[in-house]
Amino acid sequence: MCAKHFRHKPPTQLEQQQEMLLVVPALKSQVNLARLVRLAGCAGIRRIITSGSDKVDPKIARDGVDHVLIEKRRSLIPVLKKLRASGYHIVALEQTESSQVLYDYAFQRKTALLIGHEGRGIPNEELRVVDECIEIPVYGMPHSYNVVTATTMAVYEYCRQFHL
Amino acid sequence: MCAKHFRHKPPTQLEQQQEMLLVVPALKSQVNLARLVRLAGCAGIRRIITSGSDKVDPKIARDGVDHVLIEKRRSLIPVLKKLRASGYHIVALEQTESSQVLYDYAFQRKTALLIGHEGRGIPNEELRVVDECIEIPVYGMPHSYNVVTATTMAVYEYCRQFHL
């Protein structure tokens, strides 16, 4: 038995601000970007860089819209190179021949998480400029998590590691 | 730098089948149920009990539709009592006065995860018949994860704990 529902619990205060940011391609579904914005807002992630449309549905993203900076860039490869030069560890969420399993992966605090297109994933040209790749085991059909679901798991794991 | 994209990587074989199931109220959005079905399918969860419509959009749930059994029940309270009697630990994903933080929570293998309605959460009558409550810290606006996002995090944590 649990005590009763606690509505509008205040958020947890982080001792140090999150230093993860998301790098997002032009997605097939603009709904997925909006869902990422809500995820980011709640997780304390304050910056998303995208090469797609930066149009975000506030009915889905909620107040995340006003708390997450969305930067639109023509191409992601120069973005990744620039982020790395400014001290970000570039981590791609993609199944590759050398991906590390998310369960065993230790994030660096300053991480740029590159995610892939819903259908095509991350192109090899981008994989060539990242530092590491991580992947999430799947155990059944359809053998592939939705892009927001996979990003949610990686963001959760990051938050879990830097909770203290 | 990462090695190249590995398309259609085979799923991970579990030594022991997942023993988590999801208990889902009538949701506001049928899209959320379909997203839960895809999540469950990939995570190796093979059973969802819902008191809402069991109509699932296969464009969203993908092959999860054929691999996750969706059972429709009129009311969840008798379901929770029956599950508990058959050995399930009943865990509610809800902010309450006594919720444990997901980061520190050790799942039992045989877990029924009760989730809440998008707006109203889990009613107190249901909270009274669960064993424990868990919650996920939020660090920023809009101060509340989408129901599928929160469930994704709990399912990920369960999979992480029973990976070996």
pLDDT at A32: 97
B65-86 confidence digits (pLDDT tens) = 999 999 999 999 999 999 999 9
Q: Nearest C-alpha of chain A: how many angstroms from B93?
A: 11
Percent share of chain A, pLDDT over 70 = 100
A49-62 confidence digits (pLDDT tens) = 999 999 999 999 99
B152 touches A at CB < 8 Å: yes
pLDDT at B164: 72
Q: Are B79 and B118 in contact (CB under 8 A)?
A: no
Indicate if the pLDDT at residue B148 is higher than 80: yes
In angstroms, rounded to a whole number, what is the distance separating the alpha carbons of residues A79 and A102?
24
Give how far Cα B91 sits from Cα of B43, B94, B132, B133, B154, Å: 18, 9, 5, 5, 10
In this structure, which amino acid lies at residue A151? T
Question: For residue B45, what are its two tokens?
Answer: 């969860």
**Which chain A residues are within 8 Å of B44, Cβ to Cβ?**
139-140
Where residue A8 falls among pLDDT bands split at 50, 70, 90?
Answer: confident
Q: Nearest C-alpha of chain B: how many angstroms from A158?
A: 11
A residues 93..112 contacting B (CB < 8 A): 94-99, 103
In this structure, which amino acid lies at residue A21? L
Q: Which of A141, A157, A158, A159 to mutate to test the interface with B (most CBs of B within 10 A)?
A: A141
Per-chain mean pLDDT for chain A: 95
pLDDT at B7: 75
When pLDDT is averaged across residues A17-25 and rounded to a whole number, the result is 97
Domain B25-161 class in CATH: alpha beta
A145 touches B at CB < 8 Å: yes
In angstroms, rounded to a whole number, what is the distance separating the alpha carbons of residues A99 and A67?
32
Question: For residue B33, what are its two tokens?
Answer: 């149920």
Indicate if the pLDDT at residue A4 is higher than 90: no
In angstroms, rounded to a whole number, what is the distance separating the alpha carbons of residues A122 and A130?
11
Q: Nearest C-alpha of chain A: how many angstroms from B4?
A: 5
From A12, A121, A141, residue closest to B137, measured CB to CB: A12
When pLDDT is averaged across residues B6-32 and rounded to a whole number, the result is 92
Instruction: Determine if the peptide bond prior to B11 is cis (ω within 30°).
Output: no
When pLDDT is averaged across residues B6-15 and rounded to a whole number, the result is 86
Cross-chain residue pair B143–A8, CB shorter than 8 Å: yes
B90-138 confidence digits (pLDDT tens) = 999 999 999 999 999 999 999 999 999 999 999 999 999 999 999 999 9
B residues 43..62 contacting A (CB < 8 A): 43-44, 46, 62
**Which chain A residues are within 8 Å of B156, Cβ to Cβ?**
136, 152-153, 156-157
Where are the domains positioned within chain B?
A: 25-161
pLDDT at B2: 77
From A12, A14, A143, residue closest to B42, measured CB to CB: A143
pLDDT at A9: 84
Would you tell me how many other CB atoms lie within 10 Å of the CB of residue B116? 22
Residues 6+ apart with CB under 8 A from A39: A45, A64, A148, A151, A152, A155, B145, B146, B149
Q: Are A141 and B44 in contact (CB under 8 A)?
A: no
Rg of the Cα atoms in chain A: 16
In angstroms, rounded to a whole number, what is the distance separating the alpha carbons of residues B79 and B144?
27
Q: Nearest C-alpha of chain B: how many angstroms from A164?
A: 11
From B41, B97, B135, residue closest to A140, measured CB to CB: B41
Indicate if the pLDDT at residue A15 is higher than 90: no
A128-149 confidence digits (pLDDT tens) = 999 999 999 999 999 999 999 9
CA angle B141–A151–A134, rounded 5-degree value? 140
**Which chain A residues are within 8 Å of B64, Cβ to Cβ?**
141-142
Architecture of domain A20-161: 3-Layer(aba) Sandwich (3.40)
Where residue A10 falls among pLDDT bands split at 50, 70, 90?
Answer: confident
B138 touches A at CB < 8 Å: yes
Q: Which of B152, B58, B28, B82 is nearest to A43 (CA)?
A: B152
DSSP calls for B44-99: T--EEEESS-----HHHHTTHHHHSEEEE-S-HHHHHHHHHHTTPEEEEES-BTTP
**Which chain A residues are within 8 Å of B63, Cβ to Cβ?**
141-143
